[in-house]
Structure 1
């Protein structure tokens, strides 16, 4: 029994590594403004599959949520459809929604273009739901290494500091239920050259270069 379980783990890990490595599709965006430590992007409207997770740990929540999403893309949906892996895996932090007013998380999978209009319905026991995002502006900070409980808050604080010295100071959307999101682009087995990002939604639209009314421009 133990050998069979270990074999299943090896197979799952191998498939995960291959799918992440071969992933090619990502949400479409345009860069409106770029500096050395952050940039402002406009993301096109998109549809994601989302896994809500109540957990005290960002890292463990991401693992638990992605495990359910991985089952979904491997065929655990009402169409039995196999869905190609995409990048990034995006974990959104929902403040005070978890146990004892701790943070809760939404782990999000970007659906490939083929499935954007009509996502296959997940099996009910996976507790997943599709979410559609309109075109919106996002402030982004890149960072390397592994994204974990010890550094994601620090990286988010660095982005907030950078925004505070820019025309986007105080422009984070007040009505957003997410404080920030962490985008992970690399396989968990990749040691060097890892790519992560902190995302924060900001006010404005593509037509005004993501600048809300009354804000200074460069």
Structure 2
């Protein structure tokens, strides 16, 4: 595969463990982000199979940890409290504009295991970046994200069933082999990124028809 000059420079610099941030084209941005607020990021490096992003640190709200063996039943429970909070269930009774995407942290990055936890995170609109309406539920917590400098991302063009997420993560891990990022990425936790919060398993409702799997690293 032919690299751009920027990608070639990034590759060489990573060989010497000196990270160089180079803006690249990467995936087409989600169309949702033209109508709702989305967290800003820069594409550092891209290939056909994956891209490396650097997200700007910002304020998010995190929901309760849901213990389950499967994403499908866990997801609606993970977002239930956050949906109510954004809908006005807070001390100030303020309705907060919905944002996209939803980040769902899955730990460990395995499926059908008994102790898997799912935690949903909603991006906070710019209006409330300096302070959010007071939650009624102690399960809702403001958090600064991301906690890592980089994210490796694989875009999947099918619904968020467990097998689809697992295959997307496996494909991402395979694609990173032989690149300067293979030793930087860790797979103890995967973040599932859905731009379609109402029906994540039906990509036809999302005009873009995709979701993403993401792993963080420094």
Report the TM-score range of the alignment, normalised by the length of the smaller protein: 0.7 to 0.9
Equivalent residue of 1:151, what SS? helix
Query: What are the residue-to-residue correspondences of 1:37-56 with 2, within 5 Å?
Result: 37-51=49-63, 52-56=65-69
For 1:59 and 1:78, the matched residues in 2 are separated by: 31
Following superposition, which runs of at least 4 residues in structure 1 exceed 4 angstroms of deviation? Answer: 20-23
Deviation at 1:22, TM superposition (A): 8.8
Deviation at 1:113, TM superposition (A): 1.0
Equivalent residue of 1:70, what SS? helix
Deviation at 1:101, TM superposition (A): 5.1
- Paired residue for 1:60, among 54, 73, 81? 73
- Structure 1 pair 70/23, CA: closer, same or farther in 2 (3 Å)? farther
- Report if aligned partners of 1:53, 1:64 keep a CA contact under 8 Å in 2: yes
For 1:59 and 1:109, the matched residues in 2 are separated by: 18
> 1:209 corresponds to which residue?
none
Query: What are the residue-to-residue correspondences of 1:62-141 with 2, within 5 Å?
Result: 62-95=75-108, 102-124=115-137, 127-134=139-146, 136-141=149-154
- 1:30 equivalent to 2:45? Answer no
> 1:197 corresponds to which residue?
212
Q: Which runs of 5+ in 2 are unaligned?
A: 1-31
- Report if aligned partners of 1:47, 1:132 keep a CA contact under 8 Å in 2: yes
For 1:54 and 1:195, the matched residues in 2 are separated by: 25
> 2:175 corresponds to which residue?
162
Q: Which runs of 5+ in 1 are unaligned?
A: 1-19, 204-218
Deviation at 1:165, TM superposition (A): 2.4
TM-score, length basis structure 1: 0.74
Deviation at 1:190, TM superposition (A): 5.3
- Report if aligned partners of 2:157, 2:203 keep a CA contact under 8 Å in 1: no
- Structure 1 pair 21/166, CA: closer, same or farther in 2 (3 Å)? closer
Equivalent residue of 2:118, what SS? strand
Q: CA RMSD in A?
A: 2.7
Moved more, 59-68 or 21-30: 21-30
For 1:23 and 1:103, the matched residues in 2 are separated by: 33
For 1:116 and 1:148, the matched residues in 2 are separated by: 32
Deviation at 1:164, TM superposition (A): 1.7
- Structure 1 pair 183/191, CA: closer, same or farther in 2 (3 Å)? same
Deviation at 1:58, TM superposition (A): 1.0
| Number of aligned residue pairs | 180
For 2:33 and 2:173, the matched residues in 1 are separated by: 31
